[in-house]
Structure 1
Amino acid sequence: MKISFHGADREVTGSCHLLEAQGKRLLIDCGMYQGGRDLDDENAEAFGFDPKSIDVLLLTHAHLDHCGRIPLLVKRGFTGEIITTAATRELARLVMLDAARLHEEDAERHARHAARRGEAQHRPLYDTLDALNALDRFGRTATYGEAVALTPHLSATFYDAGHILGSASIRIEQTQAPRGSIIFSGDLGYSGRAILRNPQIPPPADTVVMETTYGDRLHKALAPSIEELYTAITDTFARGGNVVIPTFAMERAQEILYYLREGIEKGRLQRSLPVFLDSPMAISATEIFRRHAECYAPKDYAMFEGGKDPFKLPALRFTRQTDESMALNRLVGGAVIMAGSGMCTGGRVRHHLRHNLWREDSSIIFVGYAARGTLARLLIDGAKQVTLFGDNVPVRAKLYTINGFSAHADRDELLAWHRALRPRRTVLVHGDEQVMQSFAAQLKDTEVHVPAKGDVIPL
């Protein structure tokens, strides 16, 4: 066995790892680099391996930074099998088709500017046809806890990672000498959250490749975070403004809907609270959540089976059409507008920010991770003015950053997960380098690696 690293190495996004075992080349995830325009070239670079040589791709979950370059992999020659859970298959379809549309729109925009300047046209990283071709590569469906045979002596078993719907940690075992086992954590969830189960602990393994996104900090407790959300909404309405929540389409949107419903049922929020989910992708993801209640925590599964929709609010409106979204910008106050993208790098939320950031009576509530270089991070870090659609927009709205809704395990949860596995070797990925070094200092009785892109580790 040996493993090489081709993304999310000493950085947070672009997860992509290549395991060679039993004569097979297994790719674990193939994600997009996210954070800013400067990463466009990095996404278009060669993978560092021949896509035609990959036999199987094991997909941990459907976030863009784990599945976003799969269509490019197929475009460049991958003809192997993609194996993942049923929920991840559906969500990945949604994510890849949406990403293809955005690449096409971006290329069209560049083409218009290039034509005026007499420059060469920009081609999309991949298009809708590439995404559809990638969907044809999805083969067997993984069930949590059941081994999937890759060769007679090599298997992969998926365990619930509790991060988003269908997310998994993957344990790969070689049963022929030299025997060995390795676990890829994927992204690990945070215990005690709504909807999803807590992360499962796989059986111990020789080597663990694990994420460290929040490996240097503890999350704020969930209950105060929910209370802060309710208070931010009621205070904003008292001032006469709107609440804009930049929202990740998968998991975060559904989680916020879940807590808004609870707030209404407990009397913390008015029953007539106008909530607009202004994201076609988040709307579709919510429908997929409803189809996969088998992934829910027991309490929420029982609620759903009892006929109660955990995401239904009395005054919730889904706004799929562009004209419906534009109409929201005429709302003077008293509305909660949830729109993508969560990092404000694109999507409809940028329009809502342009119409609300300059208003002292409005609020912007950040409930998710913001990578360096994104508009969300600029605002969180205290920017007094930002540029949106060519306009300089002053930042006068009240900004809230509520960290307790994180879908990632924090330092203590990561350490507890790691201790249960007792690995001889630990490889840290998917985090800022300084965070990895801080987390590495906490590990005991294990050989620690912090690989750079292109590094190879024999197992």
Structure 2
Amino acid sequence: MKIKFLGAAGEVTGSCFLVQTGNIQFLVECGMVQGGRDAPIRNRQPFDFNPEELDFVLLTHAHIDHSGMLPKLIKAGYSGYIYATRATADLLDVLLPDSAHIQEVDAERAARKPRSKQGRHYGLTTPVYSMADALQTLNHVKEVEYENMIDLAPGIKCRFQDAGHILGSAIIEIWITEGETTRKIVFSGDLGQPSRPILRDPAIIEEADILIMESTYGDRPHRASNSTEEEIVDIFTRTLPKGNIIIPAFAVGRTQEVIYQLLQLAQHDKVNDLKVFVDSPMASKATAITMQHMELFDEEAKKMLTWKKIGTELPNLYFTASAEESQMLNKIRSGAIIISASGMCDAGRIKHHLRHNLGRPECAIMITGFQAMGSLGRRLVDGVKRVRIFGEEINVRASIHTIGGLSAHADQPALINWAKGFKKPPQYTYLVHGEDNPAQALASRLQNELNWNVHIPKRQEIVSFN
């Protein structure tokens, strides 16, 4: 058996792992690279395998850095099933067509640029895939239930467990039998932070021979929830009388958690009369899907998060749909909280809101999620003084706030505690979905405190098991 690390190795995005055993080969994840100037080029490179030879695909969750290359896979000839939870399947109905739309718009914009010859050289004037490819991909998704054992092929079965990261996210357990030997591989996917709003905590896994584990925040703890609330209230109090608050948020997961957080603050009278605009058609659809899957909520969220309560406690919550409505928000000079995608500020309507508010010292930008290296959001977090948006140079005068306590990823203490759930150390542990420093920090703790055998693979690395 072999595992090839095709993405999210030494980096956070572009998740993709090829597993080969006997006459069977399959993918776990098929994600898009996000952040950095080389991402569009990398996403257009041919696959390092023949898609027509794949037997099946397993998907941990719907975020584009895990699912975004599935339409490209179908376009290249893959004809099998894509196994995912019901909630993930519902979210893919929204995310993949939206991603295709972005691909088409970006390609059209690249073709109009003066340096379009260079764009044509790298294929940037052609979308990675089309809307038709995305819609065709949805026909290949096969829904599975948490905790059900699934027979995938002779000698291969799997089970999806709740990862608590976003709606429908999963840890995938895979049993592979070769001859007289059965090995269990566990892909953690992205693990959620325990005790966070809305979703249940990640499931505890007790056994694995081979563990592929995320390490996004492997070098730090998140801020405590009470401290996070105090920081948010302070930002609102200081900013809203004279300026706006812009919140870049992933349409799936983060937007819903931010709404939940604002609802909690309003119910406890810590904030009042908020004017909240969710300016992302995809986020609006994802929020509606979230409310259709309340069986996945934790008990507190089931009691609290209903549209009736949102309407009572957050009466000024608006979901904008049209481009005209979005443009009208840029005329508001103060008192608005604008939640918009993309979460890393590299695409979508958020760029327009940053363009109109970054240069104003009375405004604030609240970063609530991970920002990949090279992304506009990462540059803002790192303190850049000047950015270019739609060809316009903008001085960064607004205050930039990183609200780590709202992260949907497990922090270092939570990752260690999840690892302690194993009854004995996995024979082999590979840390992925992390930049170098977080992965190294987590590896050190797992090795020194739990006596684990840990390796941090490089992209394209192949590991073999006899």
With normalisation by structure 2, the TM-score equals 0.93
Secondary structure of residue in 2 paired with 1:6:
strand
Instruction: After superposition, give the CA deviation of every residue in 1:235-293 in whole Å (9 maximum; x if it has no partner).
Output: 1123x1111111111111001101111111111111x3111000111111101101111
Report if aligned partners of 2:260, 2:305 keep a CA contact under 8 Å in 1.
no
| CA distance in structure 1 between the aligned counterparts of 2:161 and 2:107, rounded to whole angstroms | 39
Range with bigger deviation, 9-18 or 147-156: 147-156
Instruction: State the match for 1:156 in structure 2.
Output: 158
Instruction: State the match for 1:259 in structure 2.
Output: 261
Aligned-residue offset at 1:21: 3.4
Instruction: State the match for 1:75 in structure 2.
Output: 75
Aligned-residue offset at 1:350: 1.2
Matches within 5 A, 1:379-390: 379-390=380-391
| CA distance in structure 2 between the aligned counterparts of 1:402 and 1:307, rounded to whole angstroms | 28
Aligned-residue offset at 1:385: 1.8
Aligned-residue offset at 1:118: 11
Report if aligned partners of 1:16, 1:66 keep a CA contact under 8 Å in 2.
yes
Cα 1:160/1:109, change in 2 over 3 Å: same
Range with bigger deviation, 184-193 or 373-382: 373-382
| CA distance in structure 1 between the aligned counterparts of 2:278 and 2:312, rounded to whole angstroms | 11
Instruction: State the match for 2:48 in structure 1.
Output: 48
| CA distance in structure 2 between the aligned counterparts of 1:309 and 1:197, rounded to whole angstroms | 21
Secondary structure of residue in 1 paired with 2:38:
helix
Instruction: After superposition, give the CA deviation of every residue in 1:320-378 in whole Å (9 maximum; x if it has no partner).
Output: 10000000111121111111111110111111111111112111111111111111111
Secondary structure of residue in 2 paired with 1:180:
strand
Secondary structure of residue in 2 paired with 1:441:
helix
Report if aligned partners of 1:344, 1:350 keep a CA contact under 8 Å in 2.
yes
Report if aligned partners of 2:266, 2:313 keep a CA contact under 8 Å in 1.
no
Range with bigger deviation, 369-378 or 284-293: 369-378
| CA distance in structure 1 between the aligned counterparts of 2:52 and 2:310, rounded to whole angstroms | 44
Asked if 1:234 corresponds to 2:237, the answer is yes
Asked if 1:206 corresponds to 2:206, the answer is no
Cα 1:48/1:230, change in 2 over 3 Å: same
Q: What amino acid is aligned across from residue 11 of structure 1 in structure 2?
A: E
Among 123, 127, 147, the residue aligned to 1:124: 127
Instruction: After superposition, give the CA deviation of every residue in 1:63-86 in whole Å (9 maximum; x if it has no partner).
Output: 111000000011111111111100
Cα 1:401/1:417, change in 2 over 3 Å: same
Asked if 1:219 corresponds to 2:225, the answer is no
The number of equivalent residue pairs is 456
Q: What amino acid is aligned across from residue 136 of structure 2 in structure 1?
A: N
Instruction: State the match for 2:167 in structure 1.
Output: 165
Instruction: After superposition, give the CA deviation of every residue in 1:434-454 in whole Å (9 maximum; x if it has no partner).
Output: 322222111233322222222
Instruction: After superposition, give the CA deviation of every residue in 1:158-188 in whole Å (9 maximum; x if it has no partner).
Output: 0100000000000001356211101000000
Range with bigger deviation, 63-72 or 87-96: 87-96
Report if aligned partners of 2:14, 2:32 keep a CA contact under 8 Å in 1.
yes
| CA distance in structure 2 between the aligned counterparts of 1:451 and 1:427, rounded to whole angstroms | 7
Asked if 1:178 corresponds to 2:186, the answer is no
Report if aligned partners of 1:261, 1:311 keep a CA contact under 8 Å in 2.
no
Asked if 1:189 corresponds to 2:192, the answer is yes
Report if aligned partners of 2:263, 2:310 keep a CA contact under 8 Å in 1.
no
Q: What amino acid is aligned across from residue 227 of structure 1 in structure 2?
A: E
Aligned-residue offset at 1:113: 3.0
Secondary structure of residue in 2 paired with 1:442:
helix
| CA distance in structure 2 between the aligned counterparts of 1:75 and 1:366, rounded to whole angstroms | 35
Aligned-residue offset at 1:304: 5.1
Q: CA RMSD in A?
A: 2.0
Matches within 5 A, 1:59-98: 59-98=59-98
With normalisation by structure 1, the TM-score equals 0.95
Q: Structure 2: any 5+ residue segments left out of the alignment?
A: none
Instruction: State the match for 1:442 in structure 2.
Output: 445
Secondary structure of residue in 2 paired with 1:201:
coil
Cα 1:228/1:304, change in 2 over 3 Å: closer
Cα 1:391/1:206, change in 2 over 3 Å: same
Report if aligned partners of 2:35, 2:375 keep a CA contact under 8 Å in 1.
yes
Aligned-residue offset at 1:303: 3.8
Aligned-residue offset at 1:203: 3.4
Among 144, 147, 157, the residue aligned to 1:145: 147
Instruction: State the match for 1:376 in structure 2.
Output: 377
Range with bigger deviation, 125-134 or 386-395: 386-395
| CA distance in structure 2 between the aligned counterparts of 1:412 and 1:94, rounded to whole angstroms | 33
Range with bigger deviation, 28-37 or 377-386: 377-386
| CA distance in structure 2 between the aligned counterparts of 1:163 and 1:34, rounded to whole angstroms | 19
Range with bigger deviation, 380-389 or 82-91: 380-389
Asked if 1:100 corresponds to 2:93, the answer is no
Aligned-residue offset at 1:24: 2.0
Secondary structure of residue in 2 paired with 1:179:
strand
Report if aligned partners of 2:110, 2:116 keep a CA contact under 8 Å in 1.
no
Instruction: State the match for 2:462 in structure 1.
Output: 456
Secondary structure of residue in 2 paired with 1:420:
coil
Q: Structure 1: any 5+ residue segments left out of the alignment?
A: none
Report if aligned partners of 1:160, 1:166 keep a CA contact under 8 Å in 2.
yes
Instruction: State the match for 2:298 in structure 1.
Output: 297
| CA distance in structure 2 between the aligned counterparts of 1:291 and 1:214, rounded to whole angstroms | 30
Q: What amino acid is aligned across from residue 442 of structure 1 in structure 2?
A: R
